[in-house]
Chains A and B, each alone.
Chain A
Amino acid sequence: MALRKGRIHEAYGPGADMFAIAAAAQQACGVLWIGLYRDIGSLCPSGLQAYLNIEDLIIVEAVSRGELLWAADQALRADGGFCVILDVPDMLSLKESRRLQLAAEQGGGLGLLILRGGVSTSAAQTRWQCQPIAAEGPAWDWRCEKGKNGETGAWRVTHQRGQNATDTFHLAATAPA
């Protein structure tokens, strides 16, 4: 799985956190997690350490929606191609998501939007519906329901901890596009 850099990607559903973490884990770069207090304050690094390098992680707490979007815009626009995870508390308008998309194109980083307030028309490259499922180990169903280049599909993902140096995600196509 490779999400295109210089683009923003959306994820929603109960497993969206994990989708963002898995995508960020594959980028060898600094990760910024931007959100309002209620989303940022509950992050627990002793749980995230299994997937992410905590030393690369910067958390940014915004106090208003305006600051949140400004911070995401600056982080995506910054030189160095950061991976930016943005906890969006409500619906983004097309204009706002277009701005973020342009910022990501300029900075060359990866924007991951966790949509908590519903889905709307947006300028994102892909949109994923993410659902954790009850299986033997931790497993998720990721369904790509929008892809600008037409690459939709669904995958079942499992995570195997500590089998080799970097934890690996296993993909199994459940319903190829």
Chain B
Amino acid sequence: MPRILSIWLPQLPLDRLTRQGDPRLSGAFAVIAEESNAWRLTHVNDAGLRAGVKAGQALADARAICPDLLTEPSDPVREELLLRALWRWADALSPRVSLDPPDGLLLDITGCAHLFGGEREMGGEALARLVDLQIQAQIGIADTKGAAKALARFGAQTVSVAAPGQNAEALAMLPTAALDLPETMINELARAGLTTIGHLYQQKSAELARRFGLRLTQQLGAASGLAPDPVTPKAADPTYTARMTLPEPIGFLEDLENVLNRLAAQVCGRLDTDQRGARQFQLTVRCVDTGDHHMSIGFARPCSDPEAVLRQFSHPLSKLEIEYGADWFRLSAQHIEPIRLKQASFGEDAKRADQRLILIETLGNRLGFDHVRIFNPRDNHVPEHEFPHVGAAGVTPAWKAAPRTRPIRLFMPPEFVQVETPGRPPGAFKWRRLSFQTARADGPERITPRWYREEDPRTRDYWTVQTQEGRRLWLLNYPGDDGADWYVAGEFA
């Protein structure tokens, strides 16, 4: 008979903030989430509960009850990261651990409990360790996953144990909500007078299935051990890392490259067999006197080529200052992605795309990938918002021709001009200490800014001006003001 331990983490989002040392948690505090267009409280701390606020309340109601309530929107990504960290931590209790998102873990503790001196002691030990981590938990132990989960969430004690073979008895007193059923079904059951699981035992399962659907009988069967429902442990993501420790420190660039070569061959070999590539590599060099030096390089596409790794590391390695030598090295691959195998470049296009990516990598690794960019189109009528810059690495360029004629240079902010002969546009003006005379002008093109954004709300008039000196400028004027100030917003070819 398998034994399952379920850990329920009822206040995971609050615990995450407590662990960060958030000072707001000393008073009434709640984590909120948006649910069908309304902000609702999902987790409330003890001070909040004392003030009369409950989870599930609308934020506006809670504010009315407790004006001092402080809140924070929930952050599902970080909460999941914390849960995954706890999932790795739970390896200390049992080798078979699976996630039970969003706020639980399931451990198959068959044959493990005696190592802790019994099941109840094991639960207590897990609880004590979680308290050390500043995480609140409740634990249920039973024969099946469903029963263990139900006991953890609805059990009377912090560690509730159902003795082997006593599942049904332990569950009998728990409410039907413990069965992990949709809320509508629980309401229907309550309307029929079935509030505890014990009530369900007294009904024929065929009757229950006919009236409430098969889901109910399946859950009931799984919880009482009639249907199989095993814990399926998932292995943690493989890490692609290699380490080398040398008996004597080394310091010559050639030797360092040799070491890196071996590490890269190892890491990239493993990546290759799994048909994966990494977007980032990190190298740690531990010097005997100055400690760890971290270097990292990036790639524009997933890479598993040791040559490329060496090539990109050659610059940071040459910058490294080693006096007494280094004797510990670690190369780790990060941002692992699958590599789609493709035919070795036939034809010019594929080759050219490869060369482009190699150049982006080379430049990005020294200047920073945010400094190597391409233009992206955007539907917008405000000239300076027509084209966001995006990092060139890992993006396929797609440009959609903008509908309006624009200058090739756009000055942001526009540059003030000294008007010498007033007019619309001015007949003569000075810009960047040069004098210009208007030969021809075209305009105005009137642009109203986006009122729904916080930006300069003034209406703008743009004029295309051909000066007698030759340069073609884009003059800007705000007609809503007195219209006397002129600016150069751009320059045409």
Contacts and interface: CB of A to CB of B under 8 A. Distances in A.
Q: Please say whether chains A and B are actual partners in one complex.
A: yes
B468 A134 contact: yes
Chain A residues touching B, majority SS: mixed
Interface in A7-60: 14-15, 17-18, 21, 29-30, 32, 41-51, 53-60
A159 interface: yes
Given A30-B356, A79-B355, A54 B375 contact: yes
Contacts of A50: 405, 493
B55 interface: no
Contact of B409 (A15, A42, A134): A42
A134 B362 contact: no
Interface residues of B, number: 48
Contact of A57 (B355, B358, B375, B471): B375
A103 interface: no
Given A59-B374, A62-B371, A21 B408 contact: yes
Contacts, number: 140
Contact of A46 (B367, B373, B386, B439): B386
B128 to A, nearest CB: 53
A148 B276 CA distance: 51
A43 B338 CA distance: 36
B352 A30 contact: yes
Contact of B352 (A57, A59, A80): A80
Interface residues of A, number: 45
Contacts of A134: 439-440, 466-470
Contact of A67 (B366, B397, B399): B366
A138 B440 CA distance: 12
Contact of B383 (A41, A44, A57, A159): A44
Contact of A44 (B373, B408, B470): B408
Given A44-B409, A44-B490, A49-B399, A60 B367 contact: yes
A29 B356 CA distance: 10
Which residue among B402, B469, B493 has the maximum number of chain A CB atoms within 10 Å of its CB? B493
A93 to B, nearest CB: 22
B363 A60 contact: yes
A138 B472 contact: yes
Contacts of A57: 374-375
A63 interface: yes
7 contacts: A30-B356, A47-B405, A51-B493, A55-B398, A61-B373, A80-B352, A138-B492
